[in-house]
């Protein structure tokens, strides 16, 4: 086994990896991921939501050439739960704008929250050989404890904080989910 394969195997064994793979797609010259069976609302984060707390989820979608990252999209979502309707609300926080959310929605069922969040994540296509084998990796993290305030004084998300979160090993108290795509080439992707 090569060193790269051992590193990838070690990574997969250290984190909860979803059996369902991501499916890469092209949409308006942007790379997107589809994962209809993705479930990340479970365990402590779900318990916190059902107890009336808002929970922040940090998403990182990466395009990989082996272990080398070619492109990535980082987004932060804040979820809440409506105890009466038993549905979720989601807000995508802006990385550059004042406090006004980029997108928000309400009355989501648990099975549609991941689809809504993934639908907000896009990345421009990098300039690479369209026949080169690539993979997509999604990582979702949340913390059971308060993180350093990721908001700038004017209320937008500090991208450097999100990069820092995904650059360090996860805290054992953090909830972490990882999903991978099968190998693909950009030339094999059909536009919807």
Q: For residue 144, what are the domain limits?
A: 3-188
Give mean pLDDT, residues 113-137: 91
Residues 75-114 have pLDDT tens digits of 989 999 999 999 999 999 887 764 568 889 999 999 899 9
Cα gap 135→150, rounded to integer Å: 29
In this prediction the pTM is 0.74
Q: 27 - beta bridge partners?
A: 30
Domain count, the chain: 1
Count the Cβ atoms, other than its own, within 10 Å of residue 149. 9
Residues 144-179 have pLDDT tens digits of 544 444 444 434 445 565 566 556 665 666 677 889
Nearest by Cα to 158 from 70, 62, 74: 74
* Lowest mean pLDDT across 28-37, 41-50, 90-99: 90-99
Nearest by Cα to 60 from 157, 140, 180: 140
């Amino acid at each position: 086994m090569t060193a790269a394969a051992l590193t990838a195997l070690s990574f997969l064994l250290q984190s909860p990896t979803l059996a369902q793979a991501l499916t890469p797609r092209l949409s308006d010259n942007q790379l997107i991921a589809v994962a209809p069976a993705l479930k990340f609302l479970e365990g402590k984060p779900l318990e916190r939501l059902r107890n009336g707390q808002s929970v922040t989820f940090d998403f990182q979608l990466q395009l990989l050439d082996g272990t080398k990252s070619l492109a990535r999209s980082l987004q932060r979502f804040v979820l809440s739960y409506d105890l009466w309707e038993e549905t979720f609300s989601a807000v995508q926080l802006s990385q550059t704008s004042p406090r006004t959310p980029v997108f928000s929605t309400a009355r989501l069922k648990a099975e549609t929250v991941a689809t809504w969040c993934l639908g907000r994540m896009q990345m421009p296509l990098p300039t690479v050989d369209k026949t080169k084998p690539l993979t997509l990796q999604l990582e979702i993290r949340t913390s059971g404890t308060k993180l350093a305030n990721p908001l700038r004084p004017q209320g937008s998300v500090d991208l450097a904080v999100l990069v820092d979160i995904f650059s360090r090993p996860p805290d054992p108290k953090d909830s972490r989910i990882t999903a991978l795509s099968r190998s693909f080439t950009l030339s094999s992707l059909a536009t919807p």
